[in-house]
Amino acid sequence: MSGNKTVVYKGPGEVAVESFAYPKLEIPQEVADAFGIKQAAPHAVILKLVTTNICGSDQHMVRGRTTAPIGQTLGHEITGEVVEIGDDVLFHKPGDICSVPFNIACGRCRMCNEGKTGICLNVNPARAGAAYGYVDMGGWLGGQAEYVMIPYADFNLLKFPDRDAALEHILDLTMLSDIFPTGYHGAVSAGVTTGSTVYVAGAGPVGLAAAFSAQLLGASHVIVGDMLDARLKQAESFGCSTVNLASGDSLADMVADIVGEPEVDAAVDAVGFEARGHGEGAAEAPATVLNDVMSIARAGAALGIPGLYVTGDPGAVNEEAKHGQIGVRLGLGWAKSHSFVTGQCPVKKYNRKLMNLILAGRAPIGKAVNATTISLEDAPSGYKQFDAGAAQKFVIDPHGMVA
């Protein structure tokens, strides 16, 4: 192979498709140097991308809201076909179609052994946890590409048991790399169970996945809040109730109109640090959603927070927020004995069981998030449409393998 087209960040609001070298079975030099290990990766595979999705987390970088450098490769939602294996890969072979957790995990450290694969200790010199194609996440090349290298393949890859069935369900299975487990993790972390009333803040793809997951877990009412009509209609398309936060009406009152009381049993923040206040044209206010979910979650409730919060935001509204310090009403949460679950979803905790639901025809997550296929060359357009609020989950199909 001679090349590898890849999506890269070119500055605020701009991405491009550029040619890179075909990947090698090697880990990033910075990772090898930091941990005193060999760069050669006989434990790795090369995947030919079947699908790779545009994520809201990618948009934070593309908007210039992180410290991502120009030239940062993009893409951490990866589903691919094995085309090359290292000598130490025992349980995968060329032709296997696999889902790749966006968390890169060694499978050997204390965190991996405890099932906390989102905070692996051996894959990122900067902090615990790594991801493909993301700023400060270890220098691993992104997967919005034609080909990508996956390390520690026996641990990280989830093989689909039947190739034909996988391709038939690919627009659902592609969500296993991130947003379906992430949304499910948000709902589980919030304590959603049979009969729960649930509020999900944000009707982007992760919020929709969280709402869909709450339904799978048996919630009696799932309410989704957002400011964009198209996204709220997408939530309604699979049975959610919705509240339009652009109206300026009291969130508690809108919740009460739906469930009969101004509180819910469980709440999920699927928005993160680029949150805005309520009302038409409201300004950015990064603590809004966290304060909202505390205000309407009953005493003793849990709050699932899959929405991204960062330690460095050069475009923040004030100096404190540039360092991840925002005005959260922690006293309110303390007074109500709330529990909070934050951080990367440990995808491997959920992906196999969610795969089984998809293959059994019981989890049409692609329809719930309005999966929309585009070519690799159309990725820049997909980013612009997504940033403008399109109620779609853009799925890149680099090799024309999606039916």
Residue 47 maps to which CATH number? 3.90.180.10
pTM over 0.85: yes
Token pair of 398 as six digits: 């680099």
Is 30 a domain residue? yes
| Closest of 105, 91, 56, 93 to residue 77, by C-alpha | 56
pLDDT at 277 (0 to 100): 93
pLDDT at 255 (0 to 100): 98
Give CA–CA dist 55/77, Å, rounded. 8
Neighbouring C-beta atoms of residue 382, cutoff 10 Å: 25
DSSP state string for 335-397: HTT-EEE-S---GGGTHHHHHHHHHTT---HHHHTTEEEE-GGGHHHHHHHHHTT-S-EEEE-
| Closest of 235, 289, 232, 301 to residue 264, by C-alpha | 301
Are 151 and 44 within 8 A, CB to CB?
Answer: yes
Give CA–CA dist 245/89, Å, rounded. 50
Are 97 and 80 within 8 A, CB to CB?
Answer: yes
- Shared domain check, 272 and 150: no
pLDDT at 322 (0 to 100): 95
Mean pLDDT value across the chain? 97
Is 401 a domain residue? no
Among 341, 361, 378, identify where a domain stops.
341
Is 61 a domain residue? yes
- Shared domain check, 170 and 193: no
Sign of CA dihedral 191, 192, 193, 199: positive
- Shared domain check, 236 and 331: yes
The string of pLDDT tens digits covering residues 282-318 is 999 999 999 999 999 999 999 999 999 999 999 999 9
pLDDT at 287 (0 to 100): 97
- Shared domain check, 271 and 238: yes
User: Where residue 276 sits, what CATH number does that domain have?
Assistant: 3.40.50.720
Token pair of 230 as six digits: 């198209």
pLDDT at 184 (0 to 100): 98
pLDDT at 296 (0 to 100): 98
- Shared domain check, 190 and 120: no
Among 297, 317, 341, identify where a domain stops.
341
- Shared domain check, 298 and 255: yes
Residue 311 belongs to domain spanning: 182-341
- Shared domain check, 136 and 234: no
Are 101 and 156 within 8 A, CB to CB?
Answer: yes
pLDDT at 118 (0 to 100): 98
335-361: b or e for each residue (b if 16 or more CB lie within 10 Å)?
Answer: eeebebbebbbbbbbbbeebbebbbee
List, for the chain, all residue ranges whose pLDDT scores fall below the cut of 50. none
- Shared domain check, 92 and 205: no
The string of pLDDT tens digits covering residues 93-108 is 999 999 999 999 999 9
Number of structural domains in the chain: 2
Is 403 a domain residue? no
pLDDT at 2 (0 to 100): 67
User: Bridge-partner residues for 85, per DSSP?
Assistant: 45
DSSP helix/strand/coil, 255 = helix
